[in-house]
Structures are given as C-alpha cells and as structure tokens.
Structure 1
Amino acid sequence: MDMEITKQDYLKRYKEELLINEKSKATIEKYVSEVKLLLDYLEDHEQSKASILEYRDALRKNYQARTVNGKLAAVHSFLQFIDKSEWKVKFLKIQRRSFAEESRELTEKEYRKLLETAKSKKENRLYYLMLTLGGTGIRISELQYITIEAVKKGKAEIDMKGKCRIILIPKGLKEKLLSYASQAGIQNGYLFKSRNGKPLNRSNIWRELKRLCEDALVNPNKVFPHNFRHLFAKCYYAIEKDIAHLADILGHSSVETTRCYIAVSLKEHEETLTKLQLII
C-alpha cells in the first residue's frame, strides 16, 4: 500500500472501482464500510499479510464464521484492487448445516395464516406482496421488477449484479395481481410502490410484516421477506426434486447455497427416522 495515499483517497478510489464494476448499492456500502474498518486496523499494524491474518483472528473473536467470511470477501476485493492479492487469507471453514432452525423457519401453515389475516384486515397491498414473494421465490430487492407490464406478460426479467434470469408469474398469481392492480388504479410501472411512486422500501415492508404478526399470532422472528423465499424453495423441492433447476430459478450460482434453503428441520428428520422402522 502507498503510504502517501490517504485512507479517504483509498476509499474514494475503491468505491469508484465498485461502481465501474456495477456492484449493487448495498454491496458498495457494505464493502466500503468493511474496508474502512480494515484500514483503521492497519494504521496501528504493519502492512503485510501477517497483519491480515491477525485481523482475521480478531474478527473470529467477535463474530460468527459466516459473518467473518462476509467481511473477508470485502477485504479480498480491496486487496485485489490495490494489487496485493498475495495478502489474501483463507476463508474460515464452515460445516454445512444438515438441519434448518425450527425457531426461524416459516411454515406453510403460518404463511397461510398471515395471508388470511392480511385479507381480513383489508391489507391488500401486503396480502398480494406476500403472495408474490411466496409464489415466485424472488428476493425482496427484485420486487421492483414485478411491474404491470411484467404481470401481463406472465414473466419478469430480472437483471441484477450482472446476472439476468426470467421469473415466471403463475397464471393464478397473474390473475390475482391484475385484479389488485385494477382495484388500486395502477395502470403501469411498479405494482408495489409507495405514495411517491417509488418501489416499496425494504424497511417499510419489514415493519408492515411485523405488525401483521401480532394479529396473525405468528412468531415475528419467523416473518421477514427472505423467509418467503425459503418457503418457496422448500415447497418447490418437495414436488420437483431437482436442486439444480431450483438453483437456476432462485438465481443461485452454486447449488450449495440452495441446499441451505431446503434443509429439513430436526422434527422432520426425526419423523423420517421413525418411518424407517429400524429400531425394533
């Protein structure tokens, strides 16, 4: 690293590099924030691979392995940017979980309960939003691609992080969304939008879901946008046991990521073991 270049200059140049590489806004904010922490650390340490190793060890004491690896991904990106790839360190090894955490797993029964409650409370936008997340498996950041035009076509073209894929909108969902659009007077553009016409903010959706949990009597720790994606994956895999195809639908670059989505709960595993009838 060039000592004559200030920390702020490094951060500014690195941010520009991320923008050029078309990284998402969230990724840029996260990576720049993580690199700032690294540079703060290196101010009091020798600038070498040994210090990066020490930094990794320091992270291990305060964060879980998955979080540490996320931080290291940003560090590695920055090291490559400054031509110090030889300083990269190994990610922490993480054993793949065999079981899902039941305390955070949204069940199909709870999903239906949320829908019923939203419908009875006339929370129409939230009702159709949950239907869309559960019926397509899209990420909350991809909700902006569900436009009136996409619904009419029966498919949405997702273009994020340099990856493009097609999301099919099932016929039943298409009919419901067009009906909602007609009722709400939405003729074009985003289907789920705020009063100023912009796509719904993630935090707004989060708050609406948490409020709904109280009336639906569903554990709020289970109800967050990404869990609808997990529910879609489990229900899809239960019918069509093709993990490679499911990975494509979800937009995963690795089936290992998809495996985490379809992990069975301990209770389900125990029921399967019982069905084996090997304990006699």
Structure 2
Amino acid sequence: MNKHDLENKKQEWLDLEFEDEKSENTIKRYECAVNKFLKYIPDGEVTKATMINYKRHLIDTYSPKTVNNEIVIINKLVKYCESNIDDLSRLKRFDSKLAVKNIKVQEKASIEDVITKEEYKRMLRMAKKKDEMDMYYIMRILGETGIRIGELKYFTIESLRKGPYITVRNKGKTRDIIVDTKLRRELISYAEGTGIDEGKLFDVDYMSVYRGLKQVAGQCRGIKLSKIHPHAFRHLFATRFMEQIGDVTELKDILGHSSLDTTSIYSKSTKKQKKKHLDEMWKNG
C-alpha cells in the first residue's frame, strides 16, 4: 500500500463513515486529519516507520488528547485500505500491521479552566445589552441543557411546542433533551416574535457560534477568552449538575456519554476547590 492508494481510497472510506451516520462535523474532522496526514507523509510505500514518524510529528505538535484523536482517525483509513473490508464492524476487528498505538495520557485529577456561573451570567447580560438575542438564547440552551453544538439543529419551533422533551440523534445514539419550562416558553416567544413559524430556531454552524461567543466574552472585562468555546457551556452544565444533584450516572444519560469514565471527570474538583477545601480543613488549627 502506498500514498497514492490512500489518496484514492480516502473518499470511499469517508462515504462509508457517512453511511454509518457519523455527524457532519465528525466527517469534516476525519477529512481534515487525513488531509494533514497525506500532506505530511512522503510519496511511495506507507510502512510502519511512516506511521511512527507521523505519530512523533503529532506528539511534537499537539496536545496528547489531540494526538490520540488524530491517530484513531489515521488508523481507520489505513485499516480500510489495508484490509479491503467495507463493513465497519468487521473493520474494527481487523488486525492491522501498520496501525500505531495511542499514547498514554495520565488521568486528570482536576478539571480546570471551566467557565464559571458568574462569567456565564455576565455573558448573558452582555448579549442582551448588545441586542444579540440569537447568541443569548444559544448560550441559554447550551448552558441549561448540556447539549453539543451539533444538537442545536433539533431545537425547532415544532419540537418546542410539543413539550419539554426534544429528541436528538448524535453518534448513532438517540436521547431526549429536557428543556426547562421557563426556557421553553421564552424560546417559543422569541421564535414567534422573530417570525419563525416552522423549522430550526438558529441556522448556525460550530464556527459561527464559536466566533459569536468569543465576541460576547471579549466585551466582558476579565473573562479569559481561551476557555470560551461552545463545549465550555456543556462543561458548565455538567459541573453545576454535579454540584447540585451529584448523580454521575444520571449525568451520563443526560449528556449522552457512552462510558461512565467520560462523565466521571465532572465528579472531580478543580485545583482551586481542592485548595479551598484544605484551607477550610486547617482553618481552626
């Protein structure tokens, strides 16, 4: 197998992943990772050494989490080309000679740089002040439901009128999102006030929301812009849920995680909280 084979098979493999109902954002991420890989590796035969050298390049360039995400994607393409298997469930079991291992990442003992409740409220006030009501309600939805940005498309006027449960489909799984009564009424009123009588409330993509959030945060003095992104509001929802409810199993179902291990990070305190707890512990001698 050589680089030319990979280039020729790339779209075929992406189509297969699309037919497996991967989300649009996932397919874009796959394509971006593969294009970077193909641009980096030399022409000619693709060997284990090629794969290891690319892995080393990733380690020198990206965070461990990003490295592992990229490795998973590249391994998928290589296994597809190497095996000629067009069934994804069988492809997972294929023993590739070229695939490289993920790097070991130490489990985090704390979650850091999570947007705070106070910062969230400041951003909401700023969006309202600037009459950026689309961003105001997008932040409300993200912060009060914990959805992924790709699930925003399921917030239609029809689904909101039906009741408090909105059915979303993501990563091959279906779950119901619970929308607070007050927020649901406000969203319906907002939609009707802006002339939306059918379909999606917001016609946006990840990057437009990302830029909008950065702009709102930039107008609020003292908010660290590096921690402002769409997924930050999902983290905010999860940490607040654990503070107030404390049931990690229930949170797993709400967020739609496949594994409890993914959700369990939200049961851990931040370093700042750990320090506060220790200070209180020794406060009285």
* TM-score range for the pair, normalised by the shorter chain length: 0.7 to 0.9
What residue number does 2:77 align with? Answer: 78
Q: CA deviation at 1:261?
A: 4.2
Change (3 A) 1:263 1:172: same
**How far off its partner does 1:184 sit?**
1.6
Q: How many Å apart are 1:51 and its aligned residue? A: 3.5
Q: Deviations over 1:22-69 (max 9, x none)?
A: 222222233233334444555457533344233322322222211110
Whether 1:17 and 2:21 are equivalent positions in the alignment is no
Aligned residues: CA RMSD: 2.4
For 1:70, the aligned partner's letter is N
- 1:144 maps to a residue whose letter is K
1:207/1:164 CA distance change after superposition, 3 Å: same
Structure 1 contact 14–32 (Cα < 8 Å) conserved: no
Number of equivalences: 271
Runs of at least 5 residues in structure 2 that lack an aligned partner in the other structure: 84-94
1:143 deviates by 0.6
Structure 1 unaligned runs (5+)?
193-198
CA distance in 2: counterparts of 1:219 and 1:19, whole angstroms: 36
Separation in structure 2 between the aligned mates of residue 13 and residue 259 of structure 1, nearest angstrom: 37
1:266 aligned to which of 263, 268, 271: 271
The answer for the alignment partner of 2:106 in structure 1 is 95
Match of 2:178 in 1: 168
Q: Which residue of 2 aligns with 1:183?
A: 193
CA displacement at 1:278 relative to structure 2: 8.8
Q: 1:106 to 1:141 in 2, by over 3 A?
A: same
Percentage of pairs with the same residue: 34
> Residue 89 of structure 2 aligns with which residue?
none
SS of the counterpart of 2:106?
A: coil
Q: Could you say which residue in structure 1 is the equivalent of 2:249?
A: 244
CA deviation map 1:78-115 (0-9, x unaligned): 132122623222210101111222xx321001111111
Equivalences for residues 110-259 of structure 1 within 5 A: 110-152=119-161, 153-192=163-202, 199-217=203-221, 218-259=223-264
> 1:200 is matched by which residue type in structure 2?
V
What TM-score do the two structures reach when normalised by structure 1? 0.86
Q: Distance in 2 between matches of 1:11 and 1:138?
A: 31
Q: CA separation of 1:57/1:132 partners in 2, compared to 1, >3 Å: closer, same or farther? A: same
Give the alignment's TM-score, normalised by structure 2.
0.85
CA distance in 2: counterparts of 1:8 and 1:134, whole angstroms = 41
- Whichever residue aligns with residue 65 of structure 2, its letter is R
